[in-house]
Amino acid sequence: MTSVALDSNEVRAEDSRTPVGPRLDKARMSWTSIPLLSPAFILLAVLFIGPVVFSIYLGFTNLQLVGPHSLYYQVTGTENLSRLVHDTTFRQSIVLTLVFVLGSAVIGATVLGFVLALAMQSSLALIRGLVGVIVLVAFMFPPIVVSLCWIAATRPGGIFATLTGSSGGLLLTQPLLVVSAANAWNLAGLAMLLFSAALRNIPGDILESAKMENASAFQRLMKITLPMLRPVFVTTMLLMTLLALANFTVVYIMTNGGPGTSTMIMPVYSYVQGFNYNELGYGALIGNVMVLLAALLSIVYVRVSRSSS
């Protein structure tokens, strides 16, 4: 395709009065794009957009996992919606999801990652190296292994249960706090990496000149480091929020949403409605609320990270 463009360019150079071939001042569409894009597009359409659209449809049906409505299901209009509005567990799960996301992603992982990255700037190389590796290994662990480590640590006799003086097991007394902490423990490594890179990019001479004007370490942090890191804070917080919203495994394996419904965050509630209570249609609707929420956050994330870079 482009060789044609080159040829026509030569022709035009010879006879500039009668331009031949397509205009070159505007980018043209290359037809080879289509075969190159089609594998990704077909896969995304069938296995990603497809399920999203199908889920919207299922959310308005009475589909069940077993029983007569598993084969012969139909659209029930706004029945699921009105059920959702009156569902006290769903209302509770919105609050729980907000607390979980705020606690584990915004406060937990983001602040922890920042504190780690900041402390590493002025620490001994040996301690920095060791703590860095430990925090990153915690980030690399598959979710089910994170759950196992935290189930053990918060059982009676486990290290965190012992440290907090809990004799009955923290998962029974502080379930939401424990799953949030486990998630923050898992995510903090990524936040630490992002903040370390950002801290390295703060020009040293600015901090140096502040030092020469006798600014205290606290002043330098508040007046220079934090304002300069503001965009990184926003993007990291949003990324952590997205990752925490998507979290199902750690919470489900540690608590199954319980005790009672005290850790029934939305992804877990969607699963429990679908596969434990057989209400696949209603579970899909709860899932749709999540997808909508995540998509909105994702758009905000893209907007913010574009405007800050």
Write out the binding residues for another protein, residues 49-78 only, by CB under 8 A: 49-52, 54-55, 58, 63
Nearer to another protein, 102 or 210 (CB): 210
Total length of the chain: 309
Whole-angstrom distance, CA of residue 115 vs CA of residue 129: 15
Q: Does 24 bind another protein (CB under 8 A)?
A: no
Question: What's the closest the beta carbon of residue 17 comes to another protein, in angstroms?
Answer: 28
β-partners of residue 61 are 75
Size of the site for another protein (CB under 8 A): 100
Q: Does 217 bind another protein (CB under 8 A)?
A: yes
Phi-psi group of 247: left, alpha or beta (phi > 0 → left; psi -120 to 50 → alpha; rest → beta): beta
Question: What's the closest the beta carbon of residue 105 comes to another protein, in angstroms?
Answer: 13
Nearer to another protein, 63 or 232 (CB): 63
Whole-angstrom distance, CA of residue 17 vs CA of residue 7: 16
Q: Does 159 bind another protein (CB under 8 A)?
A: yes
203 and 289 in contact (C-beta within 8 Å)?
A: no
Long-range Cβ pairs for the range 212-215 (8 Å, 24+)? none
Q: Which of 19, 21, 22, 156 binds another protein (CB under 8 A)?
A: 156
Nearer to another protein, 16 or 59 (CB): 59
Q: Does 248 bind another protein (CB under 8 A)?
A: yes
Nearer to another protein, 233 or 282 (CB): 282
Question: What's the closest the beta carbon of residue 85 comes to another protein, in angstroms?
Answer: 20
Q: Which of 157, 168, 259, 260 binds another protein (CB under 8 A)?
A: 157
Q: Does 246 bind another protein (CB under 8 A)?
A: yes
Nearer to another protein, 176 or 189 (CB): 189
Question: What's the closest the beta carbon of residue 91 comes to another protein, in angstroms?
Answer: 19
Whole-angstrom distance, CA of residue 212 vs CA of residue 206: 10
DSSP state of 66: S
What is the residue type of 294?
A
Whole-angstrom distance, CA of residue 309 vs CA of residue 305: 6
- Give me the DSSP letters along 129-168: HHHHHHHHHHHHS-HHHHHHHHHHHHSTTSHHHHHTT-SS
Residues in 265-284 at the binding interface with another protein, rule: CB under 8 A: 267, 270-271, 274-275, 280, 283-284
Nearer to another protein, 41 or 259 (CB): 41
Tokens standing for residue 70:
């598993």
Nearer to another protein, 233 or 283 (CB): 283
Residues in 107-146 at the binding interface with another protein, rule: CB under 8 A: 112, 115-116, 118-125, 127-128, 130-131, 134-138, 140-145
Nearer to another protein, 48 or 91 (CB): 48
Give the SS3 label for residue 75. strand
Residues in 191-210 at the binding interface with another protein, rule: CB under 8 A: 204-205, 207-209
Which residue from 157, 206, 153, 209 is spatially nearest to 181, judged by alpha carbons?
153
Other CB atoms within 10 A of residue 120 CB: 20
Question: What's the closest the beta carbon of residue 225 comes to another protein, in angstroms?
Answer: 13
Whole-angstrom distance, CA of residue 305 vs CA of residue 223: 22
